[in-house]
Amino acid sequence: MRTRASPPAASHAPMDVLRQLEDDIIFGRLAPGARLVEDAMMERYATSRHYVRRALAALERDGLVRHVANIGATVCSFTAEEVRQIYEAREMLTRQIVLMIPLPAPEALIARLEAIQAEYRREAAAPNLRRLHEINDAFHLAMLEGCGNPYLVRTAKDYMRLSLPVRATNLADGEGLQRSLREHDHMIALLRGSDAWALAQLNIEHMQASKSDYLARAAQASTLERTGTRS
C-alpha cells in the first residue's frame, strides 16, 4: 500500500524559510549565480516545496533571486558593469539627498542617530550579521530622512535593497565593521557643523569598500573561470 511522504519533522514556517534564504544570499553563504534547486532547499531548510517556492517568489520580487530560462532559480549576480551602474545611481542620489539636510542638523535627528549608533556599537561586540545589517540600514535611512523629502528617501531605500548582495558581506569583516562604526561617528560630528560637502563626500566614500570588494571578487571569479575553461 502506498503512503504519502511525510513532511520534514522540523518543518519551518514561510517567514522562517524566507528569512533564512535571504540571510544565506545577502551574507554570501550562497554564492552569486548559485542554482537554487527546490529539493536541496527543502532539505536545507527542513520545509515543504510550497514554502520554498513562496520564498523564491518573494526574493525574486525583491531582486535577490533571478529565474533563468532552462536553468531555474539562481542567486542574483551582478556583472562588474552592473555594479558600477547601480553605484553611480546610489552615489548621485545619496549626494543630493545629504546636501539637502539642513546644517547644523536638528538636535532631534542627531539624538536619533546617536541612539542607533549606540545600539550598533553594542551589537558589534557580539555580532549577529542580520541585526548589524538592520541597524546599519536604520542609521543611514534615518540620516537621509533629514532631507525632508520622503520620495527621495524611498528611492534611496530601493537602491539600498538592490545593492544588498554587494554590500551586506562587508559587515562580516571585522575591519569593515570597525571602519563603518568610525565613519558613522564622523557623520554625526559633521551633522553638528556646517560643511555639507564634507558630509556628502563621506557618505559617498562610505559606500566604496563594499563595492570595491565585490568587484575584486567578481574579477577573481572571472579569472578562475577562464583558467578552468582553458585547462
Residue range 207-220: average pLDDT?
81
> pTM, whole model, 2 decimals?
0.79
Check if the beta carbon of residue 222 is closer than 8 Å to that of residue 117: no
Question: At 167, is the pLDDT very low, low, confident or very high (cuts 50, 70, 90)?
Answer: confident
* Element holding 173 (H helix, E strand): none
The residues spanned by each domain of the chain are: 14-75, 80-220
Left (φ > 0), alpha (ψ -120 to 50) or beta: where does 63 sit? left
Residue range 9-16: average pLDDT?
62
Distance, CA of 22 to chain centre = 10
For residue range 85-125, list pLDDT tens digits in order.
Answer: 999 999 999 999 999 999 999 999 999 999 999 999 999 88
Q: How many CB atoms lie within 10 A of CB 122?
A: 11
Residue range 75-90: average pLDDT?
90
- pLDDT > 70 in the chain, percent: 87
Spell out the CATH class of 14-75. Answer: mainly alpha
The CATH architecture assigned to 80-220 reads: Up-down Bundle (1.20)
Question: At 1, is the pLDDT very low, low, confident or very high (cuts 50, 70, 90)?
Answer: very low
Q: What is the SS3 assignment for 86? A: helix
